[in-house]
């Protein structure tokens, strides 16, 4: 088969097992259909592995295998390795929802798979992975025998790949909602209409932290989505947990999650509101504020504006929180790294005139592994701050 040949001196990233090939690194491109897998060779003729290619994408190729192995076999093995990483780390009686495949984090560019009880939710971001979908489904359904497989490929980024957004049932019974348990706490997950694949599994370990630190506190959970942090705070003994989100549907789900957990109606107030405006209200009495905004920087060029946004909400939270209090603050923008985020938090504390000490640092939960060869897979960082 005709191979893609990289320019001399442009093979280092691939040799270092980074998954992305940019068009500037390519010397020869043979005839191919977008989404096809092709061998990748160095200028000297070494076979480096296989990648799928798409002329429409800003990332020309994405490696699916390194070395001489047949790419389909290697993809199958990567999925099996991803499942093995999670296999013994969860007790399904206590936690039955997890990320099974974390894209490049598991060596599988363009693919995210989440398990919610006995329902699999698949998210395919690229044409190359779309063509591998039958293989992916074969491995997954063989391993799990799921009640249903649902696709949530409603990603605007698919347009760049020449793909339509796609949502719907791929196999099994019709599903809308799934009841999961996470560390013994039940939640409703709206797999068909919720955000992303339905639940922010990457915050599992931070939810445990909130449960641990919330006792006796009045908690304000901003960017609450389906109220998971609020529920955990109350289960951890919070006096009250109020939830704020801009989406009425998210707040509706949060209320249902309170009911599911038998939490009294006076255990928290729900606000459908813009967090930037909400935090300007002077009459807050919370001594634990959680800030978990969406990614403000989706591109590198957004970083300056994103930092302004992060600084604003953090400054407001530091001004509003009753001291001594806690602020748990996150950024899930890959382009804002931990060092930069800490600088932003520093500026926010300084402008608020508050003493702030980091008592813990956080990252995405362990079923969202960071591929050491592909550091772009690190995106979520958080600080628990003690404010006095």
**Window of 85-93, 107-115, 272-280, 297-305 that interacts with ligand SAH by CB under 6 A:** 272-280
Which one, 103 or 365, has the nearer CB to ligand SAH?
365
Interacting residue with ligand SAH among 292, 335, 367, 370 (CB under 6 A): 292
Helix (H) or strand (E) holding 288: strand 288-291
- Does 294 engage in binding with ligand SAH (CB under 6 A)? yes
Residue 34 or 312: which CB sits closer to ligand SAH? Answer: 312
Q: Which is nearer to ligand SAH, 195 or 347 (CB)?
A: 195
The burial class, CB within 10 Å (0-12 / 13-18 / 19+), for 145 is exposed
For residue 287, the Cα-to-chain-centroid distance in whole angstroms is 27
Residues 6 or more apart from 354 whose CB is under 8 A from it?
318, 319, 323, 387, 388
Tokens of 117: 């009880």
User: 3-state class of 226 per DSSP?
Assistant: coil
Binding segment toward ligand SAH, per CB under 6 A, in 97-105, 125-133, 245-253, 281-289: 245-253
Task: Supply the DSSP string of 109-121, one letter for each residue.
Answer: TTEEEEEETTEEE
Residue 329 is a binding residue for ligand SAH (CB under 6 A): no
Give the position of tokens 């402008």. 351
The 8-class DSSP code of residue 294 comes to: -
At residue 123, the 3 state secondary structure works out as strand
- Closer residue to ligand SAH (CB): 95 or 224: 224
Among 79, 112, 275, 306, binds ligand SAH (CB under 6 A): 275
CA distances from 277 to 111, 214, 313 (A): 36, 25, 10
Check residue 344 for interaction with ligand SAH (CB under 6 A).
Answer: no
Q: Which one, 108 or 178, has the nearer CB to ligand SAH? A: 178
The minimum distance between CB 340 and ligand SAH, in angstroms, equals: 20
Minimum CB–partner distance for residue 187 and ligand SAH (Å) = 9
Residue nearest to ligand SAH according to CB distances in the complex: 246
DSSP labels for 21-58?
E-GGGEEE--S--TT-EEEEE-TT--EEEEEEE-TTSS
Structure tokens, 115 = 């398990």
Q: How many CB atoms lie within 10 A of CB 295?
A: 16
**Angle ∠(334,336,340) on CA atoms, nearest 5:** 145
Residue 377, interface with ligand SAH (CB under 6 A)?
no
Pattern 203-232, binding to ligand SAH, x per CB under 6 A? x-------------------xxxx-xx---
Which residue in 11, 130, 182, 245 binds ligand SAH (CB under 6 A)?
A: 245
Please report, as residue ranges, which positions from 298 to 317 form the binding site for ligand SAH (by CB under 6 A).
Answer: none
Of 33-41, 150-158, 289-297, 344-352, the window that binds ligand SAH (rule: CB under 6 A) is 289-297
Q: Which stretch binds ligand SAH (CB under 6 A): 53-61, 62-70, 100-108, 286-294?
A: 286-294
Is the separation of the CB atoms in 283 and 214 below 8 Å? Answer: no
Shortest CB 377 distance to ligand SAH, Å: 19
Could you tell me how many residues of this chain bind ligand SAH (CB under 6 A)? 19
Does 274 help bind ligand SAH (rule: CB under 6 A)? yes
Q: Residue 126 corresponds to which tokens in the numbers above?
A: 């690229």
Q: With 0-12 CB in 10 A as exposed, 13-18 as middle and 19+ as buried, what is 141?
A: middle
Residue 82's φ and ψ, nearest 5 degrees, are: -65, -40
Is 307 known to be catalytic? no
Site for ligand SAH in 356-375 (CB under 6 A): none
Q: Which of residues 145-204 bind ligand SAH (CB under 6 A)?
A: 195, 200, 203
Q: Reading across the β-sheet that carries 381-387, which strands appear in turn?
A: 270-272, 240-245, 218-222, 288-291, 325-331, 381-387, 356-363
Active-site option among 82, 83, 209, 332: 332
Rounded to a whole number of angstroms, the minimum distance from the CB of residue 304 to ligand SAH is 18
Q: Which is nearer to ligand SAH, 200 or 258 (CB)?
A: 200
Q: Which is nearer to ligand SAH, 103 or 228 (CB)?
A: 228
List residues with catalytic annotation. 332
List of residues contacting ligand SAH (CB under 6 A): 195, 200, 203, 223-226, 228-229, 245-247, 250, 274-276, 292-294
């Amino acid at each position: 088969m005709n191979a893609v040949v990289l320019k001399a001196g442009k093979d280092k990233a691939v040799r270092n097992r980074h998954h992305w090939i940019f068009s500037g690194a390519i010397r020869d491109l043979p005839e191919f259909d977008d989404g096809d897998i092709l061998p990748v060779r160095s200028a000297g003729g070494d076979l480096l592995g296989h990648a799928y290619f798409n002329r429409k994408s800003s990332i020309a190729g994405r490696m699916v295998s390194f070395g001489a192995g047949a790419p389909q076999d290697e993809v199958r093995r990567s999925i099996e390795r991803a499942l093995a990483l999670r296999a013994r780390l969860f007790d399904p009686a206590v936690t039955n929802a997890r990320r099974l495949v974390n894209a490049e984090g598991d060596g599988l560019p363009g693919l995210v798979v989440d398990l919610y009880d006995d329902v699999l939710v698949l998210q395919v971001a690229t044409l190359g992975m779309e063509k591998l979908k039958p293989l992916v489904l074969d491995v997954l359904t063989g391993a799990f025998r799921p009640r249903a497989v649902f696709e949530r490929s409603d990603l605007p980024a698919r347009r760049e790949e020449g793909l339509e957004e796609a949502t719907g049932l791929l196999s099994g019974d019709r599903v809308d909602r799934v009841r999961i348990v996470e560390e013994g706490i039940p939640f409703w997950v709206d797999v068909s209409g919720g955000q992303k694949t339905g639940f922010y599994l990457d915050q599992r370990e931070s939810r445990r932290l909130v449960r641990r630190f919330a006792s006796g506190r009045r908690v304000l959970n901003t960017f609450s989505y389906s109220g998971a942090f609020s529920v955990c705070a109350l289960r951890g003994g919070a006096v009250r947990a109020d939830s704020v989100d801009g989406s009425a549907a998210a707040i509706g789900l949060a209320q249902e999650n309170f009911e599911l957990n038998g939490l009294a109606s006076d255990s928290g107030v729900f606000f459908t509101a813009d967090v930037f405006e909400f935090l300007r209200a002077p009459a807050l009495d919370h001594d634990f504020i959680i800030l978990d905004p969406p990614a403000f920087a989706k591109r590198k060029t957004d970083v300056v504006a994103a930092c302004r946004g992060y600084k604003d909400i953090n400054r407001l939270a530091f001004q509003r929180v009753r001291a001594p209090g806690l602020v748990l603050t996150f950024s899930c923008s890959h382009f804002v790294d931990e060092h930069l985020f800490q600088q932003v938090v520093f500026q926010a504390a300084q402008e608020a005139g508050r003493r702030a000490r980091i008592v813990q640092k956080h990252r995405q939960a362990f079923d969202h592994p960071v591929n050491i060869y592909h550091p772009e897979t690190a995106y979520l960082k958080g600080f628990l701050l003690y404010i006095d």
